[in-house]
Amino acid sequence: MSKYSVKRPITVLMGVLIIIVLGLFSITRLPLTLFPEVNLPFVVTVTSYPGASPEEIESAVSEPLEAAVSTIGNFSTVTSQSNENFAISFVTFQDGTNLDSVTVELREIINNLTFPEGVGNTSILRLSPDLLPVMNITMYRTFDETVSDEEALILNTEWITRDILNELKSIPGVADVSLTGAADVVLEVNLDEAILETLGLTQDDILNTFNEQNTEGLVGAAIDEGVIRLLYLGDAPETLDQVKRTPIVYDNGVLYTLEDLSSSVKFVNDSTDSYSKVDGRQGIQISFQKQSDVGITEVTTRILKKLDSLIDDSQYDASYDVLFDQGAFITDSINSVFLNLLIGGLLAVGVLFVFLRDIKPTIIVGLAIPISVVAAFLLMFLSNITLNIISMGGLALGIGMLVDNSVVVIENIYRLLSEGKTKVEAAIVGAKEVGGAIAASTITTAAVFLPIFFIEGLVADIFIPMALTIVYSLGASLVIALSMVPSMASRFLNDQVIKEESKTSKAFKNVYKSSVLFSIKYKWLTFLVIIALLFGSSAIVFSRGFILIPPTDEGTISVDINFTGDLEFTDQTAFADQLTFDLLALRDVDSVSATLGGGFVFGPPQAQGSGETLALTVTLKEDRTNSTQDNAAFIENFILNYDFKDLDNISQDNLLEIAVSTQDSSAGAFGPTG
């Protein structure tokens, strides 16, 4: 290969350019994800039982389900959560289990179970990272002080459901959009009994007439001069003013509208136990889930672009706050790995220059790093490997090894040049002499990762992409060392390179020589030191413990506070308002979103006799002085020792349970968390 590369430099150049072009194209097509795609061995069952207490659901639903699912093959564990009106079971199977067949078998087993009358159908959900929201935001309009909190919540709900929700659902790649904290808006009409009596009407008459007016539908079609005309009947009111102007009765030449027959017509929030605010303002939380075949960063970019467009085009003074953006975290993580990759490459080139003391061979060897990485991107694209912190970590891990083969080749070429050979002859012979050695070295390094390909399950999903990335880059570096390096050396190096050894190099060799002689002279001491280091480092590793994925510093903290059942909802909201105000005063806190009565989220069972749960999402500043974990610990201690002096009818005794956790996309991607 080396002889051909030296004799055909244009061919080598074209080959390298093809690799660069295709590799750069592949980078633009590689999806950005936080972690590789994984198949989680988890299944969730949800069974409704309206009106049943947690105790009844435990005996009638949860226990029979647990006994049934334990008979399925490859079953591992099951954890159930019995709540009022429904039960949830988390079923874990062994790694490598075919969840398609398990889901079918589970469905058959559940269908054969006999539940009490009133128990609804059981929903079976396969846990996937795609089920997690890719973005959470809060949208709100700004009102003056004359608008109450309830009116602001109703107006926000009406605005979002009418103008915003369908637009967000139409974003390409978005699978679902859900609202939290929205008002349950109903129409409240207080009829004037005196007027009704005068007109001889009853409340049922008004209701029936209004329902007849509140219709709209397609009744037919006709062709008008070659154009199809759709015929609609009715005009359903959409705004409160249209509702008020709805015609009800025509009497003695006078048309009476609903407003004429009522003392008040207004929208009210039928859900008296719903609360949603961000930084003390009424707002509605919106969560986005992506389609499984679309990249996270691609979807979040589209969402933000659409939100900006909707806010700019809105007739209201509206805004939104991003509570959680998985795309931004992924982009930051990948950029951080890219930066480390760049720094590592520059350091490797810098070390080469220190020892070679010549810019030409340094450039030749240094080119092996970016070209090998670009070639690895091409192979990653062909292997359907995504750009994530695991695959990028593999590149960062092997960045120093990418120059090893080229260094060996260029050093041998240097040696032959110093012996008087021409640069063409030195390039051909030098690469050929060490070709077998560096090939064997590369294959040996790649073989270290071979056992990973025999692993199954979650670990294989995570680490096989990393192993392939390292093998791809090392393979590319071997090809470059045997082709591009001798080709460039034969044209750019100087003939008969003979340089006097520097004082620094001589000093380094003397120190190295002394240390080797000392180790040889005191063999047992050297052996004991090595054994001590081995066992000492092993003890330190085992004392630190093991986790699959380390926690991340994403800057988002979740706080769940469970109240006692005897605490009035107004007291809960007063506490939420005061706690939000106090948290915003903390140095690292950027925003606080608070919801009450927002529905169920996966988590541990609540304590018996519990009431509502206050869910807080605390977003930290980008330039925070403390980590997310440190802030979470501080906030937990702050709530445990909270001063209730400014609040009535509530004390620390009304807080049954306080759960503080950090937003961790890595943890959520590998299974259910509590």
Query: In the chain, pLDDT over 70 holds for what percent of residues?
Result: 88
Q: Are 518 and 458 within one domain?
A: yes
User: What span, in angstroms and rounded, lies between the C-alpha atoms of 454 and 459?
Assistant: 11
Q: Is residue 510 part of a domain?
A: yes
Please tell me whether the overall predicted TM-score, pTM, comes out greater than 0.95 for this model: no
User: What span, in angstroms and rounded, lies between the C-alpha atoms of 244 and 264?
Assistant: 9
Confidence band for 213, pLDDT divided at 50, 70 and 90: low
Q: How many CA atoms lie within 13 A of 515 on its CB side?
A: 6
Query: In the chain, pLDDT over 90 holds for what percent of residues?
Result: 9
Sheet of 42-48, strand order: 75-83, 86-93, 42-48, 122-126
Q: Are 439 and 508 within one domain?
A: yes
Q: Is 238 helix (H, G, I), strand (E, B) or coil?
A: coil
Query: Which of 269, 284, 319 marks a domain boundary?
Result: 269
Q: Are 493 and 562 within one domain?
A: no
Sheet of 556-564, strand order: 281-282, 275-278, 589-596, 610-620, 556-564, 655-662
Please say whether the dihedral angle defined by the alpha carbons of residues 95, 100, 103 and 104, taken in this order, is positive or negative: negative
Q: Are 233 and 140 within one domain?
A: no
Specify the CATH number for the domain of residue 86: 3.30.70.1430
437, 402, 390, 455: which is closest to 669 by C-alpha? 390
Q: Is residue 673 part of a domain?
A: no
CA 472 vs CA 35, 271, 390, 671: distances in Å: 19, 58, 14, 30
What digits encode the pLDDT tens for the residues 474-492? Answer: 888 888 888 888 888 888 8
What digits encode the pLDDT tens for the residues 13-32? Answer: 898 899 999 989 988 888 87
Instruction: Give the structural domain span for 147.
Output: 135-184+272-327
| 156 contacts 269 by C-beta, under 8 angstroms | no
Query: Which of 327, 350, 372 marks a domain boundary?
Result: 327
673 burial class (0-12, 13-18, 19+ CB within 10 angstroms)?
exposed
What digits encode the pLDDT tens for the residues 625-666? Answer: 888 889 999 999 999 998 888 888 888 888 888 888 886 555
Q: Are 395 and 520 within one domain?
A: yes
Q: Are 323 and 344 within one domain?
A: no
Q: Are 58 and 25 within one domain?
A: no
- Residue 171 is encoded by which pair of tokens? 């974003």
Lowest mean pLDDT among 74-88, 490-504, 646-660: 490-504
Q: Is residue 674 part of a domain?
A: no
Q: Is 637 helix (H, G, I), strand (E, B) or coil?
A: helix
658: left (phi over 0), alpha (psi -120 to 50) or beta: beta
Q: Are 416 and 521 within one domain?
A: yes
Q: Are 537 and 427 within one domain?
A: yes
Confidence band for 610, pLDDT divided at 50, 70 and 90: very low
553, 552, 633: which is closest to 586 by C-alpha? 633
Q: Is residue 484 part of a domain?
A: yes
Tell me the residue ranges of DSSP E strands in 244-354.
247-251, 254-257, 262-269, 275-278, 281-282, 284-290, 318-325
Specify the CATH number for the domain of residue 288: 3.30.70.1320
State mean pLDDT over 551-571: 83
The pairs formed by 360-366 with CB atoms below 8 angstroms and a separation of 24 or more are 360/492, 360/493, 360/494, 361/410, 361/414, 361/489, 361/493, 364/406, 364/410, 364/485, 364/488, 364/489, 364/492, 364/493, 365/403, 365/406, 365/407, 365/410, 365/485, 366/403
| 341 contacts 396 by C-beta, under 8 angstroms | yes
Q: Is residue 528 part of a domain?
A: yes
Q: Is residue 560 part of a domain?
A: yes
pLDDT at residue 295 greater than cutoff 60: yes
Q: Is residue 549 part of a domain?
A: no
State mean pLDDT over 31-58: 81
What digits encode the pLDDT tens for the residues 368-420? Answer: 888 888 898 899 899 888 888 788 878 877 777 777 888 888 888 888 887 77
pLDDT at residue 554 greater than cutoff 60: yes
Query: Which of 221, 246, 269 marks a domain boundary?
Result: 269
Q: Are 417 and 506 within one domain?
A: yes
Q: Are 519 and 654 within one domain?
A: no
User: What span, in angstroms and rounded, lies between the C-alpha atoms of 578 and 204?
Assistant: 45
| 660 contacts 636 by C-beta, under 8 angstroms | yes
pLDDT at residue 242 greater than cutoff 80: no
3-state helix, strand, coil in the chain (%, to 5): 50, 20, 30
Q: Are 17 and 82 within one domain?
A: no
pLDDT at residue 674 greater than cutoff 60: no
Q: Is residue 645 part of a domain?
A: yes
618: left (phi over 0), alpha (psi -120 to 50) or beta: beta
Number of domains into which the chain is organized:
5
Specify the CATH number for the domain of residue 341: 1.20.1640.10
